[in-house]
Amino acid sequence: MKKSIGKTASVFPMPVLMIATYDENGKVDVMNAAWGMNCEMDRLTLCLSSGHKTAKNLRLNKACTVALADQAHLKEADYFGMVSGNKTPDKFERTGLHTVKSEKVNAPIIEEFPIVMECELLEEVETEHLHCFVVKVLDTLAEESVLKEDGKPCMHKAGAVLFNQFRMTYMTAGQHAGNAWSEGKALL
């Protein structure tokens, strides 16, 4: 029997995304956002409050990079979610991480995170109940050390971090559980 645990809007698990942008002076800003997801094969939806520094920078540059947080840099990733770029101008510098400029878009790539997507802003969507940015992934970069033999990233090797909103904790990506569009064939 199921027991009520109250109103908890939690789609579990959620990726921990590091959204990196430049401000009007070319200064790096990064935020931790768990409320992002694929909305097409080459598009992401990033649900961000309008007043975030990152939201302002996205509007300005029409670009960002989106990295998958990893366990090796969990302290820094969590910090990016705790501190506002609006209130702490040297937020990125305090972490000791490094960036290079993306070759595809006007946004920084955080060198330490093993998987990063270079994205251009397609649209900003705002309704009474929703505020999000739709970005198009132009390229995905991955450290060779996290790639499998087929050339695709392994989330376990990458130490990808997930957010568990039920418990307000981080988890690492687990082991292989099955193959998409294959496991259900037994029921066809």
Range of the structural domain that residue 65 is part of: 14-187
Single out the residue of 157, 155, 159, 145 nearest to residue 71, CA to CA: 159
Contact residues for 101 (Cβ-Cβ < 8 A; gap 6+): 107, 108, 109
Burial of 109 (0-12, 13-18, 19+ CB in 10 A): buried
Angle in degrees, CA 122, 124, 125, rounded to 5: 125
Question: Does 177 reside within a domain?
Answer: yes
Single out the residue of 31, 153, 27 nearest to residue 101, CA to CA: 27
Query: In the prediction, which pLDDT does 178 show?
Result: 86
The DSSP output letter for 57 is: H
Query: Domain containing 161 — which CATH number?
Result: 2.30.110.10
Question: Does 152 reside within a domain?
Answer: yes
Overall number of domains in the chain: 1
Question: Does 139 reside within a domain?
Answer: yes
Count the neighbouring beta carbons within 10 Å of the beta carbon of residue 150.
Answer: 6
pTM exceeding the 0.75 threshold for the entire prediction: yes
Mean pLDDT, consecutive 10-residue stretches, the chain (188 aa), reads 83 90 97 91 94 96 98 96 93 97 98 98 94 97 96 94 90 84 89
